[in-house]
Amino acid sequence: MPRIDADLKLDFKDVLLRPKRSSLKSRAEVDLERTFTFRNSKQTYSGIPIIVANMDTVGTFEMAAVMSQHSMFTAIHKHYSLDDWKLFATNHPECLQHVAVSSGSGQNDLEKMTSVLKAVPQVKFICLDVANGYSEHFVEFVKLVRAKFPEHTIMAGNVVTGEMVEELILSGADIIKVGVGPGSVCTTRTKTGVGYPQLSAVIECADSAHGLQGHIISVSLCPGWGAGADFVMLGGMFSGHTECAGEVIERNGRKLKLFYGMSSDTAMKKHAGGVAEYRASEGKTVEVPYKGDVENTILDILGGLRSTCTYVGAAKLKELSRRATFIRVTQQHNTVFS
């Protein structure tokens, strides 16, 4: 018999952060760096906890080269060859502490990931990425990867509920990706009717993860950290830049770049020869304005994050979740000139 959970779940669009008294004199005083020690790998990492998503348009080596200069992280997409990885490691050894090798849960994925990590042992992060992190097969795959790479830090997902966060952490993952359908080019919620409002998902999953000394990744910048996320992963905000894959398109005097979900028709045609007959596209393809070098976007994001911290009185990013009070709203911003 169908069951209805009557508890109201909220998304980031339903709330704002309430400002609070602050002793900070300037945004420049805010410390954005975090240091984490991970439950299962026992590794320690320091940096600004923003991750570029492992999508083939944004999770590029070119993006990683710039992000690492700001102590920010890139989950490299899984479609690079072993030779591509070797060349990147030779040309940019300073970046390797700020990147992850990405993998699906298939045997070919495992073999390719293993070859990359053997060839480039300086890479200590693994991103295990599947659309549905609730499958028993994925849990067993996480256990397999943990046994094979006991000292690597494993990101795994995606899930949206506390019990699955706990199962993945106990299976060997260190950092859990939270979210089903919240991405800017994801259509899973409309195609399948499955999902979970992201604010509630992050709050609930953070509680479960932190109880086991685990960590989580959310989408959405400042509210994500306010809700208890340790990292945020962004795709759309980093799209359209010089460092993104793909050519610049000129149309009607405008410069554009393609950005698409990894379950979209575009991605499946590019990497799998088409959409398998048993599947459906769960992503969209959009043309975004060409934005030039990503450096300016990075500085804008970091400036906005410092501003958030000053508004709520957080001298360090680490304090943001403790200082955050969300208020429910019917409108987030003035729409006169939207």
188 in active site: yes
The residue annotated as part of the active site, out of 60, 74, 188, 297, is 188
Q: How confident is the model at residue 243 (pLDDT cuts 50, 70, 90)?
A: very high
Domains of the chain by start residue, with CATH: 15-328 (3.20.20.70)
Contact 164, 134 (CB under 8 A): yes
Binding residues for K(+): 181, 183, 186, 189
Q: What is the mean pLDDT of residues 201-228?
A: 96
CA-CA-CA-CA torsion sign (61, 154, 135, 199): negative
pLDDT value of position 153: 99
pTM value is 0.94
Instruction: List, as one string, the DSSP characters of 133-181.
Output: TT-HHHHHHHHHHHHH-TTSEEEEEEE-SHHHHHHHHHTT-SEEEE-SS
Q: What is the mean pLDDT of residues 177-201?
A: 91
pLDDT value of position 324: 97
The tokens describing 277, both together, are 């007959």
Binding residues for GMP: 235-236, 261-263, 279-283
Q: Give per-residue pLDDT as tens, 295-308.
A: 999 999 999 999 99
Q: Give per-residue pLDDT as tens, 6-22.
A: 999 999 999 999 999 99
pLDDT value of position 277: 67
Residue written as token pair 């097969």: 137
**Lowest mean pLDDT, pick from 30-44, 45-59, 187-201:** 187-201
Residues facing 177 on adjacent strands: 157, 217
Closest CA to 27 of 242, 314, 230, 295: 314
Contact 17, 302 (CB under 8 A): no
95 in active site: no
Closest CA to 47 of 69, 19, 65, 30: 69
The tokens describing 224, both together, are 């994500």
Q: How confident is the model at residue 186 (pLDDT cuts 50, 70, 90)?
A: confident
The tokens describing 64, both together, are 């990683």
Q: Give per-residue pLDDT as tens, 71-117.
A: 999 999 999 999 999 999 999 999 999 999 999 999 999 999 999 99
Q: Give per-residue pLDDT as tens, 251-279.
A: 999 999 988 877 776 767 777 666 676 66
The residue annotated as part of the active site, out of 95, 186, 205, 244, is 186
